[in-house]
A and B are shown apart, each in its own frame.
Chain A
Amino acid sequence: MTGNRLGNTVATAILWAAGFFILGLLVFFLAYILGQGFKVLSLEFVFGPAANGGVGPQLFNTFYILVLSLLFSVPIGVGSGIYLAEYAKPGRLTNLIRLSTECLATVPSIVLGLFGLIIFVNFMGLGFTILGGAAALALLNLPVLVRVTEESLRTVPHAYREGSLALGSTQWQTIRRVVLPSSLLGLITGITLVSGRAIGEAAVLVFTAGTSVSRHYPDFNPLVSGETLAVHLWYVRGEPLVANAEAVAAGSAALLVLVVLFFNLAIGLPARIYQRRLRGSS
């Protein structure tokens, strides 16, 4: 009996230690990244043009490519999520689509980058472009969007659907007016998640959007090459010729993490508040 007790105490201690080690690791990472970054971050650095040692164009490209990639991936991803949650009957086609989604989700991002390179850069002959980068990045977002959509639609009680159908609404009306509004929080959280990942992604973009920025800033032309912040951080590390590469790297790293944090707070939080109002705690 005492042996069991002892084992239990030791195991509990180890589990607590593991939990705190993981938390500590995170705190260290954030503290280090932001601490190093704040020495460098300034308005000039964040928004300034490359000529003045700023990463403004890269920051702009990051958001531009993100928005375009969402434009490609959200309709298809949410659409297939809706299909899986609302229409799909158990069967071969459904199985195949589920399997495809899972497979696409595990394809390494470098492979998606090479696929983009074949299709957009060589096959379509566009060269390195923001458009090609966004399209390749959309492939990375797609499976996550499918899964998040399906999951959040499944949390909507079946009774809502029956209630709506029993009033003589079509399935599409039910989805649009009842199911989607009640799963909005899940959808927005999912898109935030996807965006956070897309912002930090570099491997997909190196050989599709390229590693250089346009001479104009901001340049909305989607057919020019557009280095993003994450790619920039990768690039300066390997280029000893870049002036004060270390400072630029530290600043870019902190800026990337801040942008991801901002996304979670600025989009995730209002969504949560909206949902609470919808659920009617009043």
Chain B
Amino acid sequence: MENKFVVHDLNLYYKDVQALRNISMDIKKQQITALIGPSGCGKTTFLRVLNRMNDLIEGVRIDGKVLLDDQDIFGPDVDVVYLRKRVGMVFQRPNPFPMSVYDNVAYGPRIHGQRNKNKLDEIVEKSLRSAALWDEVSNRLFKSALGLSGGQQQRLCIARLLAVEPEVVLMDEPTSALDPLSTLKIEELLRDLKNHYTIVIVTHNMQQAARVSDSTAFFLNGDMVEFGPTETLFTRPTDQRTEDYITGRFG
């Protein structure tokens, strides 16, 4: 299968502290890639490299190559705004804007120049349906999004992202703040989305990684210890540290 991202020999420093060491991995198109590892090992940091969200943080230094469809995302001719439109992100804590449900979903299309009211209506409904939220909010589209439950808010954030039709969806522990039922809904959603999007998901829940992902990468203290098909990694890990982690001997 085709590669969406190729990461080669990536190192990242926060000021003088190295947070990622020599990471190389290929992220396949229309697959779900899971990043697992104990907290503080660099999963979020790595994820935020992929759409250059780390640019916003003072004192971050990166070397190595990250290719998106064979183009270096740090190249001089790459515009980070365009990059983020192609590579969208869902955060650990749901962060809907303080506006109506409708305006949240329409936000992306609007900033990208969509003004047509009918088109917007269409996009909003389609995105909310894709995020399995339409039935729950269709009667309160014009009320504040902040009145939704946590699980609904997170699905709204997913819908908001889908509305800009990204190629890659990055998700940073999207279910960690949610109840089991909402978690289940989002996992089902992920399996549907896979057909259209490349998904990279950070999770510290190994069952979740095992349930939804095709490939899994195990991070530890800024190193990528092991990366491979999820099946293999969970049943026949090659590295002792991976085995220790997935059998719950630490972390």
Contact = CB atoms under 8 A, between A and B. Distances in A.
A167 B161 CA distance: 6
Interface string A162-189: 1111111110010001100110000000
Q: Name the residue in B86, B107, B110 with the highest tally of chain A Cβ atoms < 10 Å from its Cβ.
A: B107
Given A159-B93, A177-B107, A165 B143 contact: no
A29 interface: no
A282 interface: yes
A166 B145 contact: no
A167 B107 contact: yes
Chain A CB within 10 Å, residue with most, of B51, B58, B84:
B84
Interface residues of B, number: 34
A199 to B, nearest CB: 32
Given A157-B95, A159-B93, A278-B98, A166 B84 contact: yes
Main SS at interface, chain A: helix
Contacts of A280: 98, 143-147
Contacts of A165: 53, 56, 84
A273 to B, nearest CB: 14
B146 A167 contact: no
Nearest to B104: A163
A240 interface: no
Contacts of A169: 81, 107-108, 111
B55 to A, nearest CB: 9
A89 B58 contact: yes
B95 A163 contact: yes
B134 interface: no
Name the residue among B88, B107, B111 with the largest chain A CB count within 10 angstroms: B111
A17 to B, nearest CB: 43
A167 B85 contact: yes
B120 interface: no
Contacts of A32: none
Contacts of B108: 167-169
B84 A168 contact: yes
A279 interface: yes
Contacts of B147: 280-282
B157 A282 contact: no
Contacts of B78: none
A110 B89 CA distance: 53
Given A159-B93, A168-B86, 6 more contacts: A166-B53, A167-B111, A168-B82, A168-B83, A181-B98, A281-B144
Give the 10 A-B residue pairs with the shortest CB-CB distance, closest first: A280-B144, A168-B85, A159-B95, A166-B89, A280-B146, A168-B84, A167-B108, A163-B95, A169-B111, A280-B147
14 contacts: A161-B56, A163-B160, A165-B56, A166-B51, A166-B84, A166-B89, A167-B88, A167-B161, A168-B81, A168-B164, A170-B111, A182-B97, A182-B98, A281-B144
